[in-house]
Structures are given as C-alpha cells and as structure tokens.
Amino acid sequence: MTQRYLNLTSLSRALEIMRQRFPPSGHAESMPLQLAVGRVTAEPLYAEYSVPIADIAKFDGYAVKSHETLGALDQRPLPLLTYLGINTGDVIPPAFDAVIMVEDTWEEGGRVWIRKSAAPGQNIRRTGEDIQAGELVLPKGHQIRPSDIGALATYGITSLRVRAVRVGIIPTGSDLVPPGTLPRPGQTVETNTLMAEAYLRGMGATCHRYGVVPDDPDRILETVAEAVAENDLVLVSAGTSTGSRDHSRDAVARLGEIVFHGIAMRPGKSVLLADLDGKPVFGMPGYPVSAQTVLREVVANLLLWWGLAPPLIEEMDARLARRLTSDLGFDEFVPVSVGQVNGTCWATPHPRGGGIQMSVVRANGYIHIPAGREGREAGEGVRVSLTAPSATVARTVVCVGKRDPVIAELGNRLQDSGYLLHCCNASTIGAVLALRANTCHVASVVLPDMESAWNDLVLRYLPGVNLLRLPVGMAELGIASTGEPDPETLALLRVSNRPKSQAARALLDAWLEREGIGHPPQDPDLAAGAEMRVCSVGEAREAGLLSFTPIGYESFNLVIRQEVAAEGGVAALIRTARSREFRASLLATGRELAGGSGDEPLNPGDAAPARN
C-alpha cells in the first residue's frame, strides 16, 4: 500500500483552496465576562446605561448655581448663596449646575466665600461623559483586552458572545504511550495533541482530545466519524504519510473528499485536508516540528479566516548568520536564534528536521524561505517571526559551537543576571568562523589537549583579534569496546567509525601514532562494528562497553572577542562562568576543569594552549 503524494500543492494555493472550501461559519459561544480575555467578540456590545448615570461631582467641594456666582473676583470675593457640600462622585441635584473645589473657597463669618465665578458645568462629570446608554462599546471581531473587561463591566455587560470553534483532536498510532510514561524503545510519547491543544486554546478554540487510536483503519474511521459529528473541525494526528502503517488518509477518503494531500512545505509536507460533511478534517504529520508548522501555517490560517484571535507574533529584521539552502518550490521554515552582536541583529539557524524539537525550544524565532527562493545567503536581510518577546532579543547572548551540558548550566545561571544564553550547534571550525564574522558573542570550541591545537584550530582563523579564552571543562577520551581490542582492530578506527569530533580525531590519530598502529588492510569484512568507538568514560559505561583505553584529554572552551568582553550580556556570562558557584556545580557533574585561574586572556601572538 506504499503510495507517493500524487502532487504537492503549493502552500499559498493550499491556503486559497482551504479558505474557498470552508468559509467563515459564525460559530460562537456565550461566556461570563471575566473568562473572555483574549477571545473575540461575535457581536457588537452596547452600553446598558449611561456612565456616569447622572451628573456627578469631579472633586470634593460645593455644588452651586453658576449664575449666582457671577461677579466674584480676587478684589471682590462673594459669599455663596445657594450651595451644597459635596464629595467626589456625589450626584449633583437638579437645582445646581457647577461645582467649586473646596480648596478654592474659605469659610468666614458662617459663610463660604469665593474669589472666582463658576462656569456652568464646571467640575461636573456629565451624564454619559464616558459613554451614552446604547452607545457601541466594542464592535464585533474585537479581541478582548484586560482593560476591556473593566470597561464592559462598567457599562453593564457581564456576559457576552465570543467566536468559538470546537476542535476534535485524535491521536493515532500503535506505538503511542501517554505522557508521563517512560517509552520503551520503539514507543513514542503522545505529545502532539497536547501541544496542539495548548496552541489552539491560545486562539480561543475549544479542544476535545480523543483517546489514542491504534493503527487500525476501522478504528480510525470510526473515531473520525464520531469527532466530525461532535466538532467544527477535526485534527487527526499522524498516519498521514505514505508508509505501510499510515491509515489516516484512507480513513478520511472513505468518509469524504480529500481536498489536498501534501503541501510543498518543510517541515510539514505530509499534511492532509479532507472535507467530511462540509467540515474540515486535517491530517497532521507525526513529527513534532512538522505538526507545529502545520498548525501554525495551515490550521491557524483557517481559524483566523473564521475570525478567531491571531496568536501574537512579533517580527523583526535581522541578517542571516550563515547560508541556508532550500528547494525551489518549497516554503521552508527554519528555527533561528536572534541576538544583537556589535549593533547588528543576527539570526543563527538551528538544525532543521521535523523530529528535532529542541531546535524550536532553543530558538527565539523562525524565518520563512518562500517557495520562489533557493535559500538565503549569509549576511542577507531576513524577517524573523519571534517566538519570544522582542524585548528579550537585546538580552540574548548568542553562543555558536558545541552544545554541552556545561553551556546549558551556564545559561541557566545567566538568567539570574537577566540574560538569555542561546547556543546554536556548530563544529569547532563553524564556531570560530562565526566569531570571525562577528555573528555571535561567544564561540564554544572543543580542543584536543595538544600543544598546537589552540593555534591550529582557533588563532589561525582570527589573526589580529584579541581573544579571551574561558576553559569550562575537560574530559578524558578513550577507545571503548566490548573486549580488549588487538592492534589490527584498532587500526580500523582510522577508516571506519571514525569520531566526528575534530578533537577526538586528533587525539586518536596522535595516540595511534604513538602506539605505532598503522593503517588497516583494505578488507571490508574487517571494518569496525558499532562495538568499538572513541568516547568518554561515562559514555562508554552508558553504552555497556566495558573496556576503555584512554587516549587523551579534550578541553571545552568559550572564546570571546576581548572588545565585547565588557558588554552587558557577555560580561555577565564571563562573571557567571568564573563564579565559585558555577565552578562548584561543574565539579558536581564530574566535569573536571582546566587548572589555574580558569581563564587566560590570550593574544594572537601567544600560541600557548590552556594546558600543556
């Protein structure tokens, strides 16, 4: 039953078809006022009565008849004739037409005196000054703010009709286990419907999540039919791809008409839209980032068309820190971290891929590469849709390079200074080049503990730049294997299962050299299996590889341009990294630190590595 997408619809065309097929349907629900923040009015709201409901005093003082005060002057004070002591908010009796503030009067001889005549209406809040009975307070289609809650209540409105869409969400997949379960290998925690509910509730939709339906075409069909009857819109999670266990398409095809299946969009290509009894049924891909993209770019678009509240997304101009490729004809969405380096906002991409949820968690925005573009060049201006408040961008410290628990812990502690550390994954050379291009505040680089490393891997790319090097961790690497490997097997590490990290490769090659182990013969049958690799002691233990032959140390370093070391976020990062508390936490996690004071400003001329 393997089938390919017959043809991918472009994103813009898909949205157009969708809007044509499913026009706004006017769904609404009534709710008490105090729950309506963020919701959108379904009907105009009018004041029940005038506010103020009568003429009232603006200040404490005396209600007077203005014509009786005519002629009062500084040189010719007059006593009040008819008057009434009055407090702020008190009703002005019909006989009076002005209020004189108490501080503009004085008592003398049992009478109240004034030096200035009162104008008619003076210091009176007129009936209806704020609003007239029957006047429009809010038009339909208005998203309610907290201040509107107070105003509506003031004008006599305590419940109202707001736009509402009932969304049924069906998780499918025999591999699914509920959140909070430790998944066995091959199992997936069912979280996409939780995320979808959180997202759609934010737009004012009412969500009902159904129980997990296994990969059984009949059960899926049955649940979809039930959900369509009970809701205005249905989301079927997963099973929309074209593998042998993807039954969602067939289920909806049997119940209604497929509107489109497959959009030229990444992530989220395998989205499906069907029309069941005039109601939209979406098939949402199973990869979490794909699902998020489909929700945001497709499902939310329909809900907006139907009049629900848009999720508030701030946008910002930035320059792209590195080149991004994209297939012509595909709309691509790429998570990025935006930070301000040297006065320029740079957007550094995170790894793409529907399964890498952490890319989205770590990012503070995303960029859209439209279908008509084959990617974006480094340095090109891009528009970033932010997923964090724009005010946080100025407080974001961008680190490019090796991600590591040490960096994460550093970022966690940096929060105390009000700064946010964003770490974008890159190789050591990628990190050094980002530092050279001035697109990041900090490079995190892993260096083999060898004489020439600092010079070869860092300094040579940054000639003439004053650098600050903060070693934040050391780890011993070794060759881990199931049994004690013989030299012939070890030689295989030169060609197969070679470590990806530059530092580990350098240490391995140097060790093989020292041990006199040469190149292996060209016999593929002897290639090293997954059972031998270069890693740390901890990783070896975790993988159950009991033999560990140490080959050397790698150090984990933050590298910073001296010229920015005193700037707010960077300075705070340096302080945090040097702090006793952070260093103590490193010891607790078993990460040894490079000896000495912990950081050494190095000039290009100094070729000395952190440790010899």
Q: Which of residues 45-64 bind a copy of itself (CB under 8 A)?
A: 48-49, 51-54, 56, 60
# binding residues, a copy of itself (CB under 8 A)? 111
CB of 608 to a copy of itself, least distance (A): 32
Contact 466, 562 (CB under 8 A): yes
Residue 505 host element (H or E): helix 502-515
Q: Is 279 a binder of a copy of itself (CB under 8 A)? A: no
Our CB check for a copy of itself shows the closer of 191 and 438 to be: 191
Q: Is 538 a binder of a copy of itself (CB under 8 A)? A: no
Q: Which of residues 340-369 bind a copy of itself (CB under 8 A)?
A: 355-358, 360-361
CA distances to 483, 486, 497, 509 from 519, rounded to whole Å, are 21, 13, 14, 11
Q: Which of 125, 163, 269, 350 binds a copy of itself (CB under 8 A)?
A: 125
Spatial distance between the Cα atoms of 178 and 22, rounded to a whole number of angstroms: 33
Q: Which of residues 67-96 bind a copy of itself (CB under 8 A)?
A: 67-68, 70-71, 87-91, 94
Q: Which region, judged by CB under 8 A, interacts with a copy of itself, from 160-168, 221-229, 519-527, 566-574?
A: 519-527
CB of 242 to a copy of itself, least distance (A): 9
Residues in contact with 222: Cβ distance below 8 Å, sequence separation at least 6, in sequence order: none
Q: Which of residues 541-600 bind a copy of itself (CB under 8 A)?
A: none
Q: What is the DSSP string of 81-141?
A: SSEEEE-TTPBPPTT--EEEEGGGEEEETTEEEESSPPPTTTTEE-TTSSB-TT-EEE-TT
Q: Is 285 a binder of a copy of itself (CB under 8 A)? A: no
Q: Is 529 a binder of a copy of itself (CB under 8 A)? A: yes
Q: Is 329 a binder of a copy of itself (CB under 8 A)? A: no
Q: Which of 146, 343, 464, 605 binds a copy of itself (CB under 8 A)?
A: 146
Q: Which of residues 206-265 bind a copy of itself (CB under 8 A)?
A: 241, 243-245
Our CB check for a copy of itself shows the closer of 328 and 527 to be: 527
Q: Is 13 a binder of a copy of itself (CB under 8 A)? A: no
Kindly tell me the burial class for residue 207, based on how many C-beta atoms sit within 10 Å of its own C-beta (0-12, 13-18, 19 or more).
buried
CB of 37 to a copy of itself, least distance (A): 5
Q: Is 129 a binder of a copy of itself (CB under 8 A)? A: yes
CA distances to 200, 336, 367, 393, 439 from 343, rounded to whole Å, are 36, 18, 20, 12, 10
**Distance between alpha carbon 12 and the CA centroid of its chain, in Å?**
24
Q: Which of residues 181-200 bind a copy of itself (CB under 8 A)?
A: 182-189, 191-192, 194-195, 197-199
Query: Residue 106 phi/psi, 5° resolution?
Result: -150, 155
Q: Which two tokens stand for residue 188?
A: 């997936």
Residue with tokens 């009162």: 118
Nearest to 228 by CA among 204, 208, 245: 208
Strand, helix or coil for residue 65: coil
Q: Which region, judged by CB under 8 A, interacts with a copy of itself, from 178-186, 217-225, 247-255, 547-555?
A: 178-186
Q: Which region, judged by CB under 8 A, interacts with a copy of itself, from 161-169, 175-183, 430-438, 449-457?
A: 175-183
Our CB check for a copy of itself shows the closer of 17 and 358 to be: 358
Q: Could you say which DSSP state residue 40 is in?
A: B
3-state SS string for 235-279: EEECCCCCCCCCCHHHHHHHHCEEEEECECEECCCCCEEEEECCE
Our CB check for a copy of itself shows the closer of 73 and 198 to be: 198
